[in-house]
């Protein structure tokens, strides 16, 4: 675009609030480095010409990281940031032939440097990404401040140091579009008691704040509010003072999305809910579709049966069906088996061979493994025997953030067996079920959940073919109350006849979406293939 002739002008884009990010070039064109908008030389805001978005790719000669480390630190007088602050964060500078600072180098936790060729042309030296300032602080403190730019992080550090003579944790993401770095560092960020989001007060900053809260969690996140007319932390520092900037951070409020909904918004929500897609259950479970009408995001489906009746097999059939018919990711939390065992069974089912029935070589399993895991859409939790309290729910949230829309949990009985956040028994179950409900509504996702049953006191056992009722669910009533769908099935594991022993009788005990309940056609289990098939001949059982 040529040589810059006029620096730091207000942006012409009405959606951008930057007062100094637009640079004017010798041919009359200009570019705003805040909203990444290019303006032609004849651009007239009053005529409403549409500006062009254009990313500027810096053509800077890459400076080796080792050479950058050897450079000196300097303060930035025009930004009211002292050399002491820059030295603490290891910010380096280089000079042009006139002896003026022409480039800033900001170290990031991934080991590279973000290079800022003044006024606002950026490139990277070494690995890109991470958090600026993370290496300067340990985790686990009271408060962490996150800004949208390095200068803003330095400004916050300057304000707190001027007030207390000490540096408190503050980091920065590379830009408003760099919220993915929060996901990569989520555990470290959440180790602090509270996290203050000090992002720019503009459209991009608002969107970044929304995403950041989603990643960090509403239990930790607080939002700053700059004074009217000021956009970011450095503007507050320069145009007001450090005391005002510190006060803005101190006054940060807990995240509170709007709770009042107007009729237009209500209609949009209704239309979205009305158009919600129901993904059918696989053909081998067609009986479920006749009453439940498939799976919908934002719901929890509960599967109950006696021990060894095929709950895990049923869930694996649904997993394979989703891999065949959708492009989404799925999360698998199997608390009774290792990831390797889960992978072995899924791989065998994909090639219709049962590892429990025959020895299958790795060469023969490989095609099935590629079918299931080749697209990298299945995310397995390696719990390594650690299934305490709410850590599993946190892992589920992480799966959601990675893009999973369907999550399978086998099973809730183990999930709460060691308590949840100091609670045990029914209190622990209530807490976990409430957390699961928040999870499916927050993202939204569909959760397939398995629960065990109470022991029968007398008569026919579940393992002998008795179909469970809704009151046979082990544990708190919140399991049946929170679940949207409840599917019960039974198999007579003691039957002498092979067909009877492998027949699964099914019933819908609850369907919040349709309200339809009752018996449905079940499935047949094939021990050789490890797969289920649809049984069109529904058998009537008197003892339900």
pLDDT tens-digit map of 17-58? 777 778 887 777 887 777 767 788 777 776 665 555 444 443
* Residue 392 in domain: yes
| Three-state DSSP state, 33 | coil
Residue 389 CB neighbours (<10 A): 18
pLDDT in tens, 59-83: 445 678 989 999 999 999 999 999 9
* In a shared domain, residues 352 and 476: yes
* In a shared domain, residues 129 and 178: yes
* Residue 60 in domain: no
Per-residue pLDDT at 219 exceeds 80: yes
More confident residue, 457 or 517: 517
Unique residue bearing structure tokens 């609850």:
510
* In a shared domain, residues 126 and 33: no
* Cβ partners under 8 Å of residue 428, min gap 6: 416, 419, 420, 421
CATH code, domain with 27: 2.20.25
| Three-state DSSP state, 537 | coil
CATH code, domain with 379: 3.40.50.300
Q: Which of 184, 213, 197, 191 lies closest to 398 in space, CA to CA?
A: 184
* In a shared domain, residues 47 and 181: no
Residue 452's pLDDT is: 81
Bridge partners of 93, per DSSP, are 104
Q: Measuring CA to CA, how many Å separate 242 from each of 144, 152, 237, 246?
A: 18, 12, 5, 6
* Residue 428 in domain: yes
Quote the domain boundaries for residue 40: 4-53
Residue 322's pLDDT is: 96
Q: Is the separation of the CB atoms in 180 and 208 below 8 Å?
A: no
Unique residue bearing structure tokens 């949840």:
420
Residue 418's pLDDT is: 53
* Residue 539 in domain: no
Q: Is the separation of the CB atoms in 303 and 504 below 8 Å?
A: no
* Residue 266 in domain: no
* In a shared domain, residues 362 and 292: yes
Per-residue pLDDT at 391 exceeds 80: no
Helices 362-373, 311-325: axis angle to 10 degrees equals 60
Please give the structure tokens belonging to residue 367. 């095609």
* In a shared domain, residues 334 and 465: yes
Q: d(Cα 159, Cα 167) in Å, to the nearest integer?
A: 9
Residue 50's pLDDT is: 57
> Which range, of 46-55, 261-270, 299-308, averages the lowest pLDDT?
46-55
* In a shared domain, residues 168 and 49: no
Q: Is the separation of the CB atoms in 65 and 72 below 8 Å?
A: no
* In a shared domain, residues 444 and 377: yes
Instruction: Provide mean pLDDT across the span 86-104.
Output: 90
State which H helix or E strand residue 104 sits in: strand 101-107
Per-residue pLDDT at 92 exceeds 50: yes
CATH code, domain with 102: 3.40.1360.10
Q: d(Cα 395, Cα 403) in Å, to the nearest integer?
A: 13
pLDDT in tens, 342-381: 999 999 999 999 998 889 999 999 999 999 999 999 999 8
Q: d(Cα 152, Cα 156) in Å, to the nearest integer?
A: 6
Q: Measuring CA to CA, how many Å separate 182 from each of 42, 178, 239, 345?
A: 40, 8, 29, 35
pLDDT, mean over the chain: 85
* In a shared domain, residues 49 and 73: no
- Count: domains in the chain: 3
Instruction: Provide mean pLDDT across the span 384-397.
Output: 66
pLDDT above 90 covers what percent of the chain?
Answer: 47
* In a shared domain, residues 140 and 91: yes
Query: Angle 244-249-255 (CA atoms, 0-180°, nearest 5)?
Result: 140
* In a shared domain, residues 329 and 420: yes
Residue 14 CB neighbours (<10 A): 9
Per-residue pLDDT at 5 exceeds 90: no
* Residue 275 in domain: no
* Residue 274 in domain: no
* Residue 277 in domain: no
* Cβ partners under 8 Å of residue 478, min gap 6: 426, 429, 430, 433, 434
Residue 35 CB neighbours (<10 A): 21
* In a shared domain, residues 465 and 334: yes
Please give the structure tokens belonging to residue 101. 């600072």
Q: Which of 376, 423, 379, 424 lies closest to 398 in space, CA to CA?
A: 379
Residue 417's pLDDT is: 59
B/e letters for 474-492, b = 16+ CB within 10 Å, e = fewer, are ebbebbbebbbbbbbbbbb
């Amino acid at each position: 675009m040529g040589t810059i002739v006029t620096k730091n002008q207000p942006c012409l884009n009405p959606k951008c609030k930057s007062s100094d990010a637009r640079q004017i070039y010798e041919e009359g064109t200009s570019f705003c480095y805040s909203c990444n908008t290019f303006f032609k030389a004849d651009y007239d805001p009053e005529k409403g010409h549409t500006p062009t978005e254009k990313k500027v790719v810096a053509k800077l000669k890459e400076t080796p990281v080792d050479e950058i480390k050897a450079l000196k630190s300097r303060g930035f007088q025009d930004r009211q940031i002292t050399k002491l602050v820059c030295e603490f964060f290891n910010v380096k500078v280089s000079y042009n032939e006139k002896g003026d600072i022409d480039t800033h180098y900001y170290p990031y936790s991934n080991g590279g440097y973000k290079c800022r060729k003044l006024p606002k042309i950026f490139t990277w030296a070494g690995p890109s990404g991470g958090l600026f300032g993370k290496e300067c602080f340990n985790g686990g403190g009271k408060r962490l401040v996150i800004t949208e730019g390095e200068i803003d992080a330095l400004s916050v550090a300057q304000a707190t140091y001027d007030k207390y003579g000490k540096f408190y944790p503050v980091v920065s993401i590379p830009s408003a579009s760099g919220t993915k770095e929060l996901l990569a560092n989520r555990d470290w960020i959440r180790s602090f008691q509270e996290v203050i989001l000090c992002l720019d007060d503009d459209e991009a900053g608002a969107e970044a704040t929304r995403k950041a809260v989603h990643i960090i969690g509403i239990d930790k996140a607080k939002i700053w509010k700059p004074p009217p007319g000021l956009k970011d932390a450095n503007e507050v520092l320069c145009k007001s003072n450090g005391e005002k900037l510190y006060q803005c951070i101190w006054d940060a409020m807990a995240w509170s999305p709007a709770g009042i909904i107007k009729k237009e918004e209500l209609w949009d929500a209704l239309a979205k809910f009305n158009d919600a897609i129901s993904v059918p259950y696989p053909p081998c479970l067609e009986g479920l579709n006749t009453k439940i009408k498939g799976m919908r995001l934002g719901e929890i489906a509960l599967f109950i049966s006696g021990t060894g009746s095929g709950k895990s097999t049923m869930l694996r059939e649904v997993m394979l069906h989703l891999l065949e018919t959708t492009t989404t990711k799925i999360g698998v939390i199997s608390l009774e088996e290792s990831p390797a065992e889960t992978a072995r069974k899924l791989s065998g089912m994909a090639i219709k061979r049962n590892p429990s029935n025959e020895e299958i070589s790795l060469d023969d399993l490989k095609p099935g493994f590629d079918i299931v895991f080749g697209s990298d859409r299945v995310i397995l939790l390696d719990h390594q025997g650690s299934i305490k309290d709410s850590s599993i729910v946190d892992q589920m949230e992480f799966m959601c953030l990675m893009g999973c829309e369907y999550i399978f949990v086998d099973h809730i009985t183990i999930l709460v067996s060691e308590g949840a956040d100091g609670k045990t028994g029914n209190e622990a179950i209530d807490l976990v079920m409430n957390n699961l409900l928040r999870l499916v509504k927050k993202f939204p996702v569909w959760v397939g959940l398995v629960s065990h049953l109470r022991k029968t006191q007398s008569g026919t056992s579940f393992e002998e073919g008795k179909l469970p009722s809704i009151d046979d669910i082990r544990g708190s009533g919140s399991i049946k109350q929170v679940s949207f769908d409840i599917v019960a099935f039974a198999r007579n594991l003691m039957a002498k006849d092979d067909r009877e022993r492998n027949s699964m009788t099914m019933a819908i005990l609850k369907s919040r979406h349709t309200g339809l309940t009752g018996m449905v056609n079940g499935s047949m289990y094939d021990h050789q293939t490890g797969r289920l098939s649809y049984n069109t001949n529904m058998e009537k059982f008197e003892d339900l």
